Amino acid sequence: MSKDTQDWNPLDIPYRAFDKRRGKGSDRKKIPCCIYFRVSTEMQDFDRQKKIITDYISSELGSAYYFPEGSQFLEKVSGQDANRPEYRKLKAALRAKQYKVVLCASMDRFGRKLPELLSSIEECRKLDVELRFIKDKLVINNE
């Protein structure tokens, strides 16, 4: 994991939606989001994905969303392996209802094998978790 992405916090983006108080004193219920980053090898970094996600948060994500502590899942492992450690942690957190929205730079970062990808998407739909694949301009939800 690159040091600069490890220390990166989406709350540091200068945008009104990401006030570190996370809506304290607000009547609106905030929607918890998380981010999944994956690169295939140790030699790669997360910078391209970080830029895609940062640009999206800054321009598209509204003030009803927030990123709780520990809401970033980063790993350097092939997408062919469905038993990726951070991917398993993400899925466990989704099953525990910790997040309602998952941001991912692109669908191929979420998974490479179509059967596993479709299974994960269907599980997220059953859990009422929205998936947003930014580069692909794809939102998958129950609507």
Could you read off the pLDDT of 53-96 as tens digits, one per residue? 999 988 888 778 888 888 999 999 887 777 899 999 999 999 99
* Euclidean distance between CA atoms 67 and 15, whole angstroms: 13
Q: For residue 71, with 0-12 CB atoms within 10 Å meaning exposed, 13-18 middle and 19 or more buried, which class applies?
A: buried
Using DSSP, state whether 25 is helix, strand or coil: coil
What's the pTM? 0.80
β-pairing verdict for 31-39 and 72-76 = parallel
Smallest CA-to-CA distance from 53 within 72, 76, 78 is with 72
